Structure 1
Amino acid sequence: MLDMLVVGGGYVGLAAAVAVKQAAPHLAVEVVEAVPEHVWQKDERASAIIAAATRMLEVLGVWNEILPDAQPINRMIVTDSRTSDPVRPVFLTFDGEVEEGRPFAHMVPNVSMVRALRGAAERLGITIRHGIRATGFTNTGSQCQVSFSDGSTTQTRLLVACDGVRSKLRDMAGIKTVTWEYGQSGIVTTVSHERPHEGVAEEHFLPSGPFAILPLTGNRSSLVWTERTADADRLVESDDLVFEDELQRRFGHKLGEIQVVGGRKAFPLGLTLARSFVAPRLALAGDAAHGIHPISGQGLNLGFKDVAALAQTVVEADRLGLDIGALDVLERYQTWRRFDTFRMGVTTDVLNRLFSNDNTPLRVARDFGLGIVERMPKLKNFFIDQAAGKSSEGPSLLRGEAI
């Protein structure tokens, strides 16, 4: 019988398995993943990793492997304009360091992150099974029996659902969600440009939604381009000339000529918050617990915060001789994570509604607000610390400490 079974072999699922196994090597931990083994190597996306998450990855022993592919975000600028405006005034700037030598975030290719976490899992002796879907589970009181698409079954004391925003395990457990769609899609692609970005990230608020330029290593940037869903689908399906012309209009000419160097995909955007993060023998983590708008770049980082809280909950309960799958134990994890998650979900929802429109009075009011923040260094530093996950009371891993 397993002690912990993680369903979902992405960065959140792998990090959860590695964090628990590293701190409690005697626990039997396994990961199952629905997709074939090498699919993760085709992921062209990159993610923003905040300072707190990099501390956790350092403790897990994988950050040094990731670091050569990671681009520090040295500065961030925020603009608010229309696509046709000849000038994009900068209303807000953030310097990138939360402490000397540590930027508030890095941009990391997803492939590099998953590769490093898979390597750590293998070194710790964690089995990763591919091409298998969880088709059902039954709580028998002292354990949970999970059935799979290949006809096999497994018993585990704790089942961790990291199977995405449309989590099947969450549905099987009867956990309801708060869900709504924005009528927007996020176009994700990578571009090269003539001039160096110098580690500057840009968030351009345009009437259809935010257009984020996020620096990667070399003269490359990752783009998260929000459009109304119908327009996003049209752009993704258009020929290269039309796509790059529309892209250049939004990107601007500050970095010279640009060229799309990766694939382009559109992902529908919405808000999904699980009403409960736990059930007997079950814990939700990552997108299975929450899916938010990418306007703040915090989606993955919320998942890593889940990992840090869940791992500490499980390991400390085990050290006390408690049942790691018992509901009263798991409720500590839920208490740790629920308020922060709902607060971030509401914040991103409000920001998206506030900035994804062309209402002139609202534009004047929000630009005035950005200008006020720009002139208040202490308030700016507070926002940076929050974005970087800086806290003296969070889980140990997010502070760079072993459990």
Structure 2
Amino acid sequence: MTTRLWLIAGLILLAVNLRAAITATPPLIGNVQQALALSGTQVSVLATLPVLCLGAFAWLAPRLARRFGTQAAVCAALWVLALGTAVRAVPWPTALFAGTVLSGAGIAVGNVLLPALIKDRFAQRIGLFTGLTMTLMAGSGALAAAAAVPLSEATGWQFALALWAVPAVLAAAVWGLPAAPGAGGRHRRTPPAAPRGAGGSGSLLGCALAWWVSAFLGLVSLMFYALVAWLPQIMRASGYPPSEAGLMMSVMLAVGIPLGFLVPLAAARMRGQRRLVIAVTAAKLLSLAGLLLAPGFGWAWVCLLGVATGGAFPLAMTLLGLRADGPRTAADLSGMAQTTGYLLAGLGPLAMGLLHDVTDGWRIPLAVLIALVVPEAIAGLLAGRPGQVRPRGREEDPPKHTAARADGRLARL
């Protein structure tokens, strides 16, 4: 098998592991809480911890890739994910929280390096491969959510959680092979030192566009993970039985699967992506308002919410590649956006849980989510303008023909 096929196989396996371990947990929260006698505060922390880990460990990914190589960094991240997924199934609260931190750390590194790999190896097909990986992430997330309760009823909640260590081990084994996706037949460090002006060294902290991309990803992620954590409980409070409420979250994730492929393809064909931002934020506003004001039509709002969240997250991830001027900038922008974005997003599940406890209901938490659609739309409109992130301190861009040759070399690797 050629190196290019190994790369595609590796990307597929990596993408499959970047959401399932997170979405498998919320449908089982009640079982875990009862089995381990967790308090309401501990449950809120458990719902928030994976997202906080995505932000807390994202900054490490570009540094690990430059220090040890992308192949080694991705392989190590997948082994950490597998270990954490297995450990959290141990029926002991400390193991549950420790395993959640480990699995979150592994996913964080994989999340950051995925856009950089696509920018480096498929620079001319960012939309296609971002769409492919987003589709796989959404599909595995929906499958994990849908299978959680049936697996728990058949085998127990521990097996339902630990099962997702298996695909992580398989992916780690593939990335650990000598001719694995990141190697190209030799030890290659990715993101590589880019040609001058194509993502060279320099800080992104002074770049306004980088901050708007980060804010958009953060607010999109806050909304997504808050809903993943609490949508089953919201629908149960609206009168839906537990099994149907859990199925609703799975359907919300499943509706987004085709959009995970189509939105990046459409975004990559556009010079600016503001029309897509308007579409997904309008759908989000309407569906959240429907859940608040007319919960009796819950299935309609959940399906529309699947369209909104299923389009917004792939769009935000696609912007990481489209707004970067080279693979190294893509890795740095991805690290910055996911560090700040997921730390912001981590407030979502925790704040939703605390607001529910304080107000003894879900109306106020839903109203807060509706209000947050406004800054999400503003950040998305500014991030969706044509342009590229340019790190402070880098040299002038090379002539266009030089940049084109560099991009061609990257695309052929």
Q: Which has the larger strand fraction? A: 1
More helix by share: 2
TM-score, structure 1 normalization:
0.27
Q: Which gives a bigger RCO, structure 1 or 2 (Cα 8 Å, sep 6+)?
A: 2
